Amino acid sequence: MVAWMVDRYGSDEQRARWLPDLCSAQTLGSYCLTEPGAGSDAAALGTRAERDGDHYVITGTKQFISGAGASEVYLVMARTGDTGSSGVSAFVVHRDDPGLSFGANETKMGWNAQPTRQVILDAVRVPADRRLGEEGDGFRIAMHGLNGGRLGIAACSLGGGRAALEASTAYLGDREAFGSPLINAQALRFRLAGMATELEAARSLLWRAAAALDAGDPEAQQLCAMAKRFATEAGYTVADEALQLHGGYGYLTEYGIEKIVRDLRVHRILEGTNEIMSLIIARGLTGAA
């Protein structure tokens, strides 16, 4: 997500500096938009970047930042102008920049493979050539970045749902009850069929949205919201159904299904809640603000 934004909106010098390590995963990047008091209403963010000669001084706190502390590159949205979306700019901040620190690692229901922490900017001075795009472009850059992020979360949900479906199919084939493998029970086979159909429908919508985003389709934002909303709901529902099909064993950590359920639950919140996705879709349909 960060690499795409640098590639799309960065200068030749910025791309040459940051992209090789980001694209090879030698360096990790974190997207820093959400704040303690500004989540879905991203234009209300309060982090400020004040121009000081050939530098900007950035002060504020970002909340729920995936990879915080482990990442080296932080793409920070900060206010350089008046209130509203037009006063936001984007900056590349490095982990070693003085004044940058991190909150405690959050204790989460799932997603424990990576840290989630606050990113605290206390008068962090960054050179002006670390600004991505022009002043005031930050909100547009952030929203375009979220389109790709939503497709990524949708894809993760499909992967988790598919893993849960495959585990359930194997389990029902091995587990016997009343003298026969559970997979022979038509009711259970029909449930597997329904799970597979939901995932395939979500995959088709995801491909459609990804193609629209690549092509610069004017409906891309709406389609990305649809794909994120549908795929994250489908992935979680399939994983929860898989846990049920495992019976009591599904609730045990040994089988790994409960971890998939916990990890996929947050996908309906990340990159904009599914309620916000519905708002974006409705705006696209009606043209209303």
Q: Do residues 117 and 92 share a domain?
A: yes
**Which pLDDT score is estimated for 41?**
78
Domain boundary among 88, 111, 134: 134
Instruction: Specify whether 254 is catalytic.
Output: no
pLDDT at residue number 44? 84
Q: Indicate if 122 and 218 belong to the same structural domain.
A: no
pLDDT class for 289, splitting at 50, 70, 90?
low
Domain boundary among 104, 134, 164: 134
Among candidate residues 13, 200, 271, 275, the one labeled active-site is: 271
pLDDT at 266 over 70: yes
Last residue of a domain, one of 134, 152, 179: 134
**Beta strands, E only, 2-54:** 29-32, 48-52
**Alpha carbon distance 124, 58 (integer Å):** 5
* Same domain flag for 145 and 268: yes
Same structural domain for residues 109 and 180? no
In this structure, the answer to whether residues 83 and 56 fall within a common structural domain is yes
Q: At 27, is the pLDDT very low, low, confident or very high (cuts 50, 70, 90)? A: very high
Q: What is the pLDDT of residue 85?
A: 82
- The boundaries of the domain holding residue 46 are 2-134
Whichever domain contains 206, its CATH number is 1.20.140.10
104 burial level (CB within 10 Å; 0-12, 13-18, 19+):
exposed
Query: What is d(CA 289, CA 279) in angstroms, rounded to the nearest whole number?
Result: 9
Is residue 8's pLDDT more than 80? yes
User: Please, which pLDDT band fits residue 30 given cuts at 50, 70 and 90?
Assistant: very high
Cα–Cα distance for residue pair 70/27, rounded to 1 Å: 9
Residue 92 and residue 154 share a domain: no
Looking at the 3D structure of the chain, how many domains does it have? 2
Q: Work out the average pLDDT over 139-159.
A: 94
* Residues 137, 88: Cα–Cα separation, whole Å: 7
Percentage of the chain surpassing pLDDT 70?
99
Residues 114 and 159 in one domain: no
pLDDT tens digit sequence for 212-234: 999 999 999 999 999 999 999 99
Whether residue 99 sits in one domain with residue 36: yes
Residue 279 and residue 146 share a domain: yes
CATH code at position 93 = 2.40.110.10
Q: What is the largest CA-CA distance in the chain?
A: 80
Q: Same domain, yes or no, for 121 and 161?
A: no
What pTM was computed for the model? 0.91
Express each pLDDT in 35-70 by its tens digit. 998 877 777 899 999 999 999 999 999 999 999 999
